[in-house]
Amino acid sequence: MTTLSRNAPETIALSARSVRASLGNGPAKTAVLHDVSLDIVAGKWTSIVGPNGAGKSTLLKVLAGVLPHSGTVHLLGRELHRIAHRERARQLAWLGQNEASADDLTVWDVAMLGRLPHQAWLSAPSAADQAAVENALRATQAWDWRFRALGQLSGGERQRVLLARALAVQAQVLLMDEPLANLDPPHQADWLAVVQALVAQGTTVVSVLHEISMALHADRVVVMAQGRVTHHGASGDAATHAALVNVFDRRIAIHAIEGQWVALPKTHPGLPAVVSRSQLC
Amino acid sequence: MMQPRAWWLLWAGVLGALALTAVGICVGSAGFENLLQPLLHPQLDPGRSAMAQQIVWEIRLPRTLGAWAAGALLGLAGAVAQGLFRNPLADPYLLGSASGASLGVALALAALGGGAGMLGGNMMNGSVPVSVFSSSVWVRLGLTGAAFCGAVLAVLLTLVLSRGVGHTLRLLLAGVVVGVVLGAMTHLVLLFSPDSLQAMQAFMLGSTAFVGWTSCVLMAAVWCVCVLVAWLLARVLDGLSLGDATAVSLGLPIAPMRAALVAVLALATGTAVAQTGLIAFVGLAAPHLVRSVVKTTHGHLMLLSSLVGGVLLMAADTLARGLIAPQELPVGVLTAVLGGGYLLWLMHRGQAHEGGRA
């Protein structure tokens, strides 16, 4: 793992030390994270990438404080599990993958859940809450269907509402697990703009992404494999690209196209081509 | 922010309950007879008015209001169960809590040597008869306590067997198993205490026939407590509907709140079962009915389900009394038939919807 020491001292938003975590119970329990240590720089966008089953989502859950683990996690210098629940919830928002869908809540109600950590128990939403929810729903272009039930939306529309829920928290640190699931390309581009705007305002963003080209838009990239962090570096670094190519068994190639890094899959050299080149032309 | 449709349903619930109260006090063993007239104009026929007053005040009004309270408790319990277990099929009965409650009542009766009470039993010797039909405050409290303990234990047993609430199918199967086993145990207990058998028989079919003012006040008091606690914890249910992890990430202390909600579920079910026996499907149908009209947060859903549950049971009870007068149907039998039909229709409609989407 490369350390970050080239630039001036950076604030660390999240730091994990010797983290181990398991999934499942009893005999089915399997270790997913093996001794992970990681520093997430504040005010930057970090993407976590790696093959399926590398432990990316599990690491994100540990960082969010929603999964039991050994080792320590610090949020802005304070030990995560010592921070009061509501205070932590105001500082750190987490968007999970495949969140159970609250089919009967309206889009507005779901986004308003993001304001729970800010509201006194039983108090009506304040003007600030309303504004935060409106901004979040407009940012994900979900404002027009705010009175519809979540169950009446398509997968991509639902994802945008859940994203709005996480944005509405207005936390300093935002963790997102596969935020682009089911989103079409225009809305992926909108998401990119939202994240870049948040980072410009000083928010720390951490995302788990399987679209490598999207992940390479981030400031920093964490590469994971088999429950370990194998590389952590700037997204433009050749070493980061090499680590990515390695972790995917050299089955991807990273090219610079129109000023963007683009990862393209490569067919396996040993596999027969199902479609011949002449058919493609 | 309460939606217009929710307001509409709220008023429909309140007006429906008032109308059914008026109808309910006029329906008895003689079928429908207008008792409102002698009640409101006593000067026309003082003798008839006094009799009407006695019938209404001592029998029909507590029974009618009791039906509302029991239905309201079941409707609330159903909404809590469906939110808590994130499962639209969860109801107080499917999780075994009602069977647990009735086992609790049967055990209490057998232990205290409770007989048939009004049907004979130990009315003669002057002591307080321990019976499901008793109107003594202490007997009612004791039976409610026993039902509550039974309900809590049954729900916990279901949760242990299903290893948590995460797996819907396992939860429902565990609930069914617990329900069947506890039901069998109830029958076993009754077999060994034949005195209580006849009374329990009527009780297990579900009936509001023996609800007096004591039961009525008890249910109303428990309803107030349950609604208050449920309202306080409604946001937890909203948060939980996005999954446990998201609820935790929102800073909700879900473990203690979930325990409190299970307690509300058991208290509401236990109290209703201890007064009126096993009345099926009200707890399942009420939240579904509300959701088919308005999509709203759990705070409103629980309140509206409770109102709708009360109206449903009141309507069913009035029907049960009037349909084959002077005979009377056990209201539990009627709700089972009507509720079962409603559920089938719901399933059919659900399939049609899915088919349309695919």
Alpha-carbon distance B293 to B271, whole Å? 28
Q: What is the pLDDT of residues A189-204, one digit of tens each?
A: 999 999 999 999 999 9
Nearest CA in chain A to B229: A122
Helices of type H across chain B: 4-24, 36-40, 46-55, 61-84, 97-111, 137-161, 168-192, 194-205, 213-232, 234-240, 244-249, 254-276, 282-293, 298-322, 331-357
Kindly list the residues from chain A whose CB atom is less than 8 angstroms away from the CB atom of residue B245: 61, 64, 66-67, 94, 96
- A5 pLDDT higher than 80: no
Measure A16 CA to nearest chain B CA, in Å. Answer: 18
Alpha-carbon distance A192 to A214, whole Å? 8
Q: Is B245 within 8 Å of chain A by CB?
A: yes
DSSP letters for B197-249: HHHHHHHHH---TT--HHHHHHHHHHHHHHHHHHHHTHHHHHHHTT-HHHHHH
- From first to last of its 358 residues, chain B has per-residue pLDDT tens of 567 888 899 999 999 999 888 888 888 777 677 777 777 777 777 877 887 888 888 888 899 999 999 999 999 999 998 888 887 777 777 778 888 988 998 888 887 765 444 333 333 344 445 565 666 777 778 888 888 889 889 988 988 888 776 666 787 788 889 999 999 999 888 888 877 777 777 777 888 887 888 889 999 999 999 999 999 999 889 998 898 899 999 999 888 888 888 889 888 988 898 888 888 889 988 998 898 888 889 999 999 999 999 999 999 999 988 887 778 888 888 888 888 888 788 778 766 554 433 3
8 Å CB contact of B241 and A149:
no
Q: Which of A104, A148, A161, A170 to mutate to test the interface with B (most CBs of B within 10 A)?
A: A104
Alpha-carbon distance A160 to A179, whole Å? 8
Alpha-carbon distance B234 to B241, whole Å? 11
8 Å CB contact of B249 and A149:
no
pLDDT at B25: 80
Chain-centre distance of CA A49, in angstroms?
10
Q: Is residue A97 part of a domain?
A: no
Kindly list the residues from chain A whose CB atom is less than 8 angstroms away from the CB atom of residue B249: 64-66, 89, 92-94, 96
The angle that helices B61-84 and B213-232 make with each other, rounded to 10 degrees, is 30
Of B245, B251, B296, the CB nearest to A86: B251
Q: Are A233 and A243 in contact (CB under 8 A)?
A: yes
Q: Are A149 and A105 in contact (CB under 8 A)?
A: yes
Q: In this structure, what is the dihedral angle of CA atoms B311, B314, B315, B320, given to the nearest 10 degrees?
A: 160
Average pLDDT over residues A254-270: 83
Local structure of A254: helix, strand or coil: strand
Q: Is A115 within 8 Å of chain B by CB?
A: no
Look-up: residue for tokens 């901004």?
A135
Distances in whole angstroms, Cα of residue A134 to Cα of each of A105, A115, A204, B110, B200 = 16, 12, 22, 61, 57
Q: What is the pLDDT of residues A14-42, one digit of tens each?
A: 999 999 999 877 777 889 999 999 999 99
**Domain range holding A268?**
1-76+203-281
Mean pLDDT of chain A: 89
Token output for B62: 């507590």
8 Å CB contact of B249 and A66:
yes
- Is this complex scored with an ipTM above 0.85? yes
Kindly list the residues from chain B whose CB atom is less than 8 angstroms away from the CB atom of residue A109: 238, 296-297
Q: Are B93 and B335 in contact (CB under 8 A)?
A: no
Average pLDDT over residues A67-95: 94
Structural domains of chain B, count: 1
pLDDT at B227: 96
- A250 pLDDT higher than 80: yes
Q: Is residue A181 part of a domain?
A: no
Question: Looking at residue A216, which CATH number applies to its domain?
Answer: 3.40.50.300
**Domain range holding B293?**
279-350
Q: Is B248 within 8 Å of chain A by CB?
A: yes
Measure B231 CA to nearest chain A CA, in Å. Answer: 9
Q: Is residue A36 part of a domain?
A: yes
Distances in whole angstroms, Cα of residue B332 to Cα of each of A33, B63, B340 = 54, 15, 12
- Name the β-bridge partners of A19: A36
Kindly list the residues from chain A whose CB atom is less than 8 angstroms away from the CB atom of residue B295: 104-106, 149, 151
Token output for A111: 């986004």
Kindly list the residues from chain A whose CB atom is less than 8 angstroms away from the CB atom of residue B86: 100
8 Å CB contact of A116 and B246:
no
- Name the β-bridge partners of A146: none
Q: Is residue A29 part of a domain?
A: yes
Kindly list the residues from chain B whose CB atom is less than 8 angstroms away from the CB atom of residue A121: 232, 235
Kindly list the residues from chain A whose CB atom is less than 8 angstroms away from the CB atom of residue B160: none
- Looking at residue B62, its amino acid is P
Q: Is residue B312 part of a domain?
A: yes
Of B2, B12, B5, which is closest to residue B307 (Cα–Cα)? B12
Beta carbon pairs, A and B, within 8 Å:
82
8 Å CB contact of B163 and A122:
no
Of B86, B238, B253, the CB nearest to A100: B86
pTM: 0.85
Alpha-carbon distance A96 to B245, whole Å? 8
Q: Is residue A87 part of a domain?
A: no
Q: Is A12 within 8 Å of chain B by CB?
A: no
pLDDT at A272: 56
Q: Is residue A241 part of a domain?
A: yes
Of B86, B251, B296, the CB nearest to A85: B251
Alpha-carbon distance A93 to A75, whole Å? 12
Task: Give the total residue count for chain B.
Answer: 358
Kindly list the residues from chain B whose CB atom is less than 8 angstroms away from the CB atom of residue A162: 242
Local structure of A221: helix, strand or coil: strand
8 Å CB contact of A66 and B245:
yes
Q: Is B1 within 8 Å of chain A by CB?
A: yes
Measure A219 CA to nearest chain B CA, in Å. Answer: 25
Structural domains of chain A, count: 1
Q: Is residue B301 part of a domain?
A: yes
Percent of chain A residues past pLDDT 90, beyond the cut: 69
Distances in whole angstroms, Cα of residue A154 to Cα of each of A41, A101, A138, A151, A181 = 35, 12, 18, 8, 12
Q: 3-state SS string over A29-81?
A: CEEEEEEEEEEEECCCEEEEECCCCCCHHHHHHHHHCCCCCEEEEEECCEEHH
Kindly list the residues from chain A whose CB atom is less than 8 angstroms away from the CB atom of residue B253: 85
Q: Which of A113, A122, A159, A176 to mutate to test the interface with B (most CBs of B within 10 A)?
A: A113
Q: Is A65 within 8 Å of chain B by CB?
A: yes
Token output for B12: 């429909």
Of A40, A34, A52, which is closest to residue A13 (Cα–Cα)? A40
Half-sphere exposure of B254 (CA within 13 A, CB side): 20
pLDDT at B4: 84
Nearest CA in chain A to B299: A122
Q: Is A245 within 8 Å of chain B by CB?
A: no
Of B242, B249, B301, the CB nearest to A64: B249
